[in-house]
Amino acid sequence: MNATKTRIGQLGSGSGLDVQITHNPVFDLFMTLRRETTGRSHWERVVLEPPHRPGVTRFAAALAELAPRQLSQLERHIALAPSLEQLAASVSREPRAAEVVAAMAEEAEHVALALQAFGSDPKSSLGAAGDLLADVQDKCLTFVAEAFGLGQRALSVEVLTVPATPRVTPCGVLLATGRPAAFVNHTELRSVGLVEAILNMTMLAALRADGNATPGRHIAAQLTDVPTERARMARTIDTILVYVTSAQAIRLFVDTDHLDLAEPLGVYITHGRLTDILRPYWLHHLSGRLTREAALAAVVAELQAGGPGLFALRDTAELAADFYLLELLHARSDAAASRRLEQFEAALARDVIRYLHTAVGAELGHCQRVPIDTVADPELRDFVTEINRGDSAISWRRIFDRLGTRALLLAEAAFEGPCIPYGGLKWSPVARTLRLHLDDVIPRRVFIDQCFTLRHNNGPLFDKSFDVSKVLTVLDAQASADYDLLLQHASTDVRRLWAAHHETRFADRHPVWLGSAARAVSSASRNASR
């Protein structure tokens, strides 16, 4: 393998931030082998047709021997290697890494030919994105750099374009220390989405390498003294703020209707409560209505009030328990509970809709291996073809914005037809439920109730972005009217409402006549006081 790393683009801001966009066949080789051996779903397009050659098998075995830190270091080392020959020489004294590189060398020509058939030319994929970058690079890069206080820092970042990456990682930062570097998948991310991804990865790599306090580090330092928790919080905050900033730059200088890449990729919905706090204040900073210091101070105050639970996945069991208890209190004409239900239901329905869009879009990836000439219906054939142009979650939002709920009908048809062999059948009811709600066939409350009980191939519907470990217990409790158990999983606010309602309702009754209701009141009162 004689191919070496080449530069295919460059970004520069009015400041000292310099971005080299490169293509490295050595990194292509590594990421393709990794995807095909450990990181590809059965329904994704295949680069290396099975059965795998001996070298591919040896690569997987050698990679499995590496500890996470060793793997991270090797990944970055491979990305920055000028050629495969120089890489082999540089790891010759590290036996496990040398085994990985030796297996890569054995399969290099075979993988290169397979990638040609896969359609992996970075210059072709970067065509439209490259034109956009050339037009707006100074404005976009300066905007995002100055938003994070990096406007006058001399930093150089390398962003590698790759044609194939392991499952659910269309872009990422190379974490080992040294020169900031990242990668983007140029077959999954296209046009404006690829431009935003390059901006996102540039800033995340720069912030990781910058020794000064990032917004995330500044905020996290005021929330916890535990180093590991502080680092985790800081990374999450910085990631959300970077996605918000890059998307806003795209809207300002490229496409006013651009949807944040974090929405279809599920970043925002996974960190829903945190995003709902961070995003408004940071947008005020980006628009000039708040200084960066004022925005961060407001965020710190809200996060301190909300507690560390804001950084955890939302508990579907708690959401379901709150929903069913509030619904019951509303049916009993509790005015306070009715007001709370209205607010809770509206916010929950909004997030469920966002989640279903993300999930349906991602699961339409099942279309990747559908032979397009087997799809008889012309409209469905066009739908499947467009879904397969890049990451399906991103393609889906583009199609839905154009077709509305007609797109959901086509998604149902895809799941029920050509996608059946790849596990799509159980996603048809999900798409149908979303369509019926958006078409006002089923009301909001029924929609939420149905979504709690929907399941897909691997478990409860919400397991992609929520904690679903206890939701089945809550659903069983609801079915059997076990209010004591529902209360155990409910939020503090709802337990208080329940206790207040029953203390008023049964104020003139003797406890011996109340049975389970008395126990529920007693339990709710104790829990609410904690």
Separation CA 140–CA 247 (nearest Å)? 10
Q: Among 333-347, 448-462, 486-500, whose mean pLDDT is lowest?
A: 448-462
Q: What is the 8-class DSSP label of residue 160? A: E
Q: What is the 8-class DSSP label of residue 476? A: H
Strand pairing report for 155-162 and 17-23: parallel
pLDDT in tens, 489-518: 999 999 999 999 988 765 555 454 444 544
SS3 529: coil
Separation CA 255–CA 22 (nearest Å)? 25
Tokens 């519907």 found at: 461
- Angle at 447 (CA atoms; ends 441, 453), nearest 5 degrees: 135
Query: Burial level of 513, CB count in 10 A (0-12/13-18/19+)?
Result: exposed
Query: Burial level of 463, CB count in 10 A (0-12/13-18/19+)?
Result: middle
Separation CA 188–CA 196 (nearest Å)? 13
For residue 298, give every residue at least 6 positions away whose Cβ sits within 8 Å of its Cβ, in sequence order, or none. 281, 290
* pLDDT range class, residue 18, cuts 50, 70, 90: confident
CA-based nearest residue to 444, from 346, 525, 362: 346
* Identity of the amino acid at 218: H
pLDDT in tens, 421-442: 877 788 999 999 999 999 999 9
Tokens in use for 126? 């970067």
Q: Give just the sign of the alpha carbon dihedral 392, 394, 399, 404.
A: positive
Give the model's pLDDT for residue 130.
Answer: 61
Please, which residues bridge with residue 481 across strands? Answer: none
Maximum Cα–Cα distance across the chain: 88
Do 421 and 224 meet the contact criterion of CB atoms below 8 Å apart?
no
Domain spans of the chain, in order of start: 6-204, 216-310, 316-500
Give the model's pLDDT for residue 11.
Answer: 72
Do 344 and 444 meet the contact criterion of CB atoms below 8 Å apart?
no
Do 384 and 367 meet the contact criterion of CB atoms below 8 Å apart?
yes
Tokens in use for 165? 């990456």
Give the model's pLDDT for residue 80.
Answer: 86
Separation CA 216–CA 237 (nearest Å)? 5
CA-based nearest residue to 426, from 363, 496, 506, 350: 363
Do 359 and 431 meet the contact criterion of CB atoms below 8 Å apart?
no
Please compute the mean of the pLDDT values over residues 14-31 and round it to a whole number.
Answer: 86
Cα-only R_g, the chain: 26
Separation CA 142–CA 203 (nearest Å)? 11
Q: Is the pLDDT of residue 1 over 70?
A: no
Q: Where are the beta strands (DSSP E) in 426-526?
A: 455-456, 459-460
For residue 480, give every residue at least 6 positions away whose Cβ sits within 8 Å of its Cβ, in sequence order, or none. none
Q: Where are the beta strands (DSSP E) in 253-370?
A: none
pLDDT in tens, 196-250: 999 999 999 999 887 677 999 999 999 999 999 999 999 999 999 999 999 999 9
Separation CA 355–CA 382 (nearest Å)? 25
Q: Give just the sign of the alpha carbon dihedral 323, 448, 352, 460.
A: positive
Alpha carbon distances (Å) from 297 to 278, 287, 474: 11, 17, 38
Please compute the mean of the pLDDT values over residues 461-470 and round it to a whole number.
Answer: 92
Tokens 């925002």 found at: 268
* Identity of the amino acid at 46: V
Q: What is the model's pTM? A: 0.89
Concatenated DSSP letters of 43-96? TSPPSSPSSPPHHHHHHHHHHHTS-HHHHHHHHHHHHH-S-HHHHHHHTTT-HH
Kindly state the percentage of the chain with pLDDT values over 70.
88
Please compute the mean of the pLDDT values over residues 310-329 and round it to a whole number.
Answer: 96
φ, ψ (nearest 5 deg) of residue 20: -100, 120
261-272: b (≥16 Cβ within 10 Å) or e? bbbbbbbbbbbb
Separation CA 492–CA 389 (nearest Å)? 46
Q: Is the pLDDT of residue 39 over 60?
A: yes
Q: Mean pLDDT for the chain?
A: 88
CA-based nearest residue to 119, from 399, 390, 380: 390
Tokens in use for 79? 């990305």
Please compute the mean of the pLDDT values over residues 409-413 and round it to a whole number.
Answer: 96
Asked if omega into 51 is within 30° of 0 (cis), the reply is yes
φ, ψ (nearest 5 deg) of residue 148: -105, 10
* pLDDT range class, residue 457, cuts 50, 70, 90: low
